[in-house]
């Protein structure tokens, strides 16, 4: 491409070659045609362990009583609790022996 003058250093020539390259790779490199893989149905592994015990069923309990002062969401409940109890622990990390190593508290 570019006529090279004997006075042009190799670093400048390398920079010119870098600038000539496209900035983005072609779109075909971003997309993988995996349509054939989607059509294949994977067979279950015959060596996979089988479930044991009885099947669990969901039990319906009593409906919760409607309390009017409950926050509308979990985030709102955490925010309310954090503003009323600013130094209360909200998260504790345990080590492998079960001892608390980090405790995160609410803040205002």
Q: Would residue 66 count as lying in a domain?
A: no
Q: Would residue 59 count as lying in a domain?
A: no
In this prediction the pTM is 0.28
Q: Would residue 4 count as lying in a domain?
A: no
Q: Would residue 84 count as lying in a domain?
A: yes
pLDDT of residue 64: 67
Cα end-to-end span (Å), the chain = 64
Q: Would residue 89 count as lying in a domain?
A: yes
Quote the CA–CA distance of 89 and 103 in Å, as a whole number. Answer: 6
Residue 65 is given by DSSP the state P
- Run of H or E residues at 83: helix 74-84
Residue 46 is given by DSSP the state T
> Which residues constitute the domain of residue 18?
9-40
Number of other residues whose CB lies within 10 A of the CB of residue 80 = 13
Tens-digit pLDDT profile for residues 11-26 = 888 888 888 877 776 6
Tens-digit pLDDT profile for residues 41-89 = 778 888 888 888 888 888 888 876 766 787 888 888 878 877 888 788 8
pLDDT of residue 5: 56
Residue 29 is given by DSSP the state G
Q: Would residue 54 count as lying in a domain?
A: no
Q: State the pLDDT confidence band at 37, using cuts at 50, 70 and 90.
A: low
pLDDT of residue 34: 66
Q: Would residue 65 count as lying in a domain?
A: no
Q: Would residue 68 count as lying in a domain?
A: no
Coil, strand, or helix at residue 71?
coil
Number of domains in the chain: 2
């Amino acid at each position: 491409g570019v006529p090279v003058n004997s006075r042009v250093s190799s670093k400048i020539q390398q920079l010119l070659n870098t600038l000539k390259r496209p900035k983005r790779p072609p779109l075909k490199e971003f997309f993988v045609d995996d349509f054939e893989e989607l059509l294949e149905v994977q067979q279950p592994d015959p060596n996979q362990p089988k479930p044991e015990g009885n099947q669990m069923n969901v039990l319906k309990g009593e409906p919760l009583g409607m309390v009017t002062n409950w926050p509308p969401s979990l985030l709102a409940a955490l925010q309310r609790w954090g503003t009323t109890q600013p130094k209360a622990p909200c998260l504790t990390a345990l080590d492998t022996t079960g001892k608390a190593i980090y405790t995160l508290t609410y803040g205002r």
